[in-house]
Structures are given as C-alpha cells and as structure tokens.
Amino acid sequence: MEEHNELDVLSETNYIDVLKDILETFMNEATDIAVQVMNSDIVQDGTEILSQVGEAVSGAIKSLKVAQKIASIPTALYMKKFGRYCKGLTTIPLEKRQKYMKLLGKEKFNKESVFVLNVINRIEENEKIPLFLKILNAKMDGFIDDNEYHRLMILTDRTLYSDLLYLKDNITEDPVKLNSDSDYGLASSGLLVAAGNEWVEGMDDADNGVRFNYTLAAKKMAYIFFGVECAMKPSNKGITILVAASNEEVEEQLNELFK
C-alpha cells in the first residue's frame, strides 16, 4: 500500500522537480554505497544498507526507482541515462561536490540542473555520460569556466562518440588533411576548422591542399577526456598565408612592370 501511495504522489508531482531534487541529493550526499543500493533490487527491505547512505539519499534512490516503474518507454530510456549519470557523480569526491554546490548556490544549481537534464535527454549514446561527468569535474577544478562548460557539454552531445575517441590519438597543433570519416565528423561538429592551404605537388581531387586545425575546444576535450596535452595555439605549419599588398607595394610592382 505504501508503494501505491508513493506512485500516486510521484505521478502528481512535476517530474522535472523530482529529478532536480534527486540530482541535488546525489551532488550533496551520495557516495559509492549509494551505487550499490541502486544496483540492487533492495529498497524497502534493505534497512541495514539504506541506513548507511542516510535518509536523504535513500529517499532519492527510492524516488528514482519508483519513477522508473511508472515510466513510459521513452521516459524509461531517459531514466536509465539519468540513473547512470547519478551513479557517475559518486566518482567525484563528495567533499569536492559539496564545495562546488556551496559555491554554486541554490538558484544557479536549479538552472544548471535543468541544462544537464536537457543534455541527458538529447544524447543517443549512453557512453557519453562519463564524458559529461569529466567535463563537470574540469569545471569544479577551474580548468574551464561556465561558458566553456556549456559549450563542451553541447559539443559532446552533438559529436559521435567514436569521433570523440578519435581525438585521443589524433589531436595535434599542426594542420591536418581530412582523411577519415571521423575527420569529416569532427569538422561538421565544429571541432576542426579550415586553417588555409598547403602547397601540394600534383594537386588533384584527392588532395586540394586545404588543411584544418583542431579548435581550442577540441584540444580541451582531448585533455579533459583522455589527459592528452596539445599546444593550444595552432602551429600553422606548411600553411600558405596570403597577405594583401599595400598601395605602395602595388605601385612599386606596376612601375617595375612598365618601366
């Protein structure tokens, strides 16, 4: 009967508010023990285990499991992603999360949580969830600011997971030629941008000389995700940069031509 009442209450509650409350509780209080409880089927009867996670966390886990029970298929898929994100939060030290939450404040957290919930809703590859958590960790460390955090989260959402993995072994400060599907994928995601032209002997359709640079965002993602360091400033090695001639230079060239 108690579970039936909880289902009724949850179904009458704003779903977003429930998820925000769960997220806040995990940020502030959850440890790896909470993950053990989530991975088990014991919620109501496991009083000994629940006592270790505290009342707030056990309540959040209970709400999460109840929400999964009453969810439609699309919502159930979302809840699976959300649950994985909550579990992943426990990999970030609790003290670090608590300090971050204190600095963030309630109002800003509410805005951030809605942003995170929307990003989780959009992703089609669950493997990206640990990457989102690495971006959050980088923000907590001060490696990126608020704007960069939002930008990297959105770029991660829009880029194929396999293309993100490609960054690990291919990120460079030197200009690159688009050779693979991942190169083209990163270019379409805005992580590779045109750098200029390189002189190529026998230039043809296979190589038109156009070269691309990895963006600053791509380099930061490679470092955050894989610990791969790369010079942030592009080398532009081999790139021909055309500089407009001054009026004096043009006049001098014309005089030389017609003398």
245 domain-assigned: no
Give the model's pLDDT for residue 31.
80
21 domain-assigned: yes
Residues 170 and 151 occupy one common structural domain: no
Give the model's pLDDT for residue 237.
85
| Closest by CA position to 131, among listed 215, 214, 224 | 224
Give the residue numbers spanning the domain of 88.
2-158
End of a domain among 158, 176, 210?
Answer: 158
| The total number of structural domains that make up the chain | 2
Cβ pair 239, 198 in contact under 8 A: yes
| Closest by CA position to 115, among listed 184, 35, 16 | 16
Give the model's pLDDT for residue 196.
84
Owner of token pair 């790139």: 239
Query: Which value, to the nearest 10 degrees, does the dihedral of the CA atoms of residues 203, 200, 198, 247 take?
Result: -80
Instruction: Count CB neighbours of 158 within 10 A.
Output: 13
250 domain-assigned: no
119 domain-assigned: yes
| Closest by CA position to 125, among listed 150, 171, 156, 149 | 156
Local confidence pLDDT in tens for the 259 residues of the chain: 344 444 443 444 467 788 888 888 889 888 877 777 777 665 444 455 556 667 777 777 777 766 666 556 567 788 889 999 999 999 999 999 999 999 999 899 999 999 999 999 999 999 999 999 999 999 999 999 999 999 999 999 999 999 999 999 999 999 999 999 999 999 999 999 998 887 655 555 666 678 999 999 999 999 999 999 999 999 888 777 655 556 676 577 667 666 6
Residues 112 and 205 occupy one common structural domain: no
How many whole angstroms separate alpha carbon 149 and alpha carbon 154? 9
| Closest by CA position to 199, among listed 241, 247, 259 | 241
Looking at residue 91, its amino acid is: T
Residues 19 and 146 occupy one common structural domain: yes
Residues 204 and 147 occupy one common structural domain: no
Residues 143 and 169 occupy one common structural domain: no
Residues 151 and 135 occupy one common structural domain: yes
248 domain-assigned: no
Residues 152 and 24 occupy one common structural domain: yes
| Closest by CA position to 173, among listed 110, 234, 242 | 234
Cβ pair 165, 121 in contact under 8 A: no
Residues 12 and 132 occupy one common structural domain: yes
Cβ pair 192, 215 in contact under 8 A: yes
252 domain-assigned: no
End of a domain among 158, 187, 203?
Answer: 158
DSSP-based three-state secondary structure for 240: strand
Residues 52 and 154 occupy one common structural domain: yes
Query: Which value, to the nearest 10 degrees, does the dihedral of the CA atoms of residues 147, 153, 159, 164 take?
Result: 100
Residues 63 and 121 occupy one common structural domain: yes
189 domain-assigned: yes
End of a domain among 100, 134, 158?
Answer: 158
10 domain-assigned: yes
Residues 30 and 75 occupy one common structural domain: yes
Residues 103 and 180 occupy one common structural domain: no
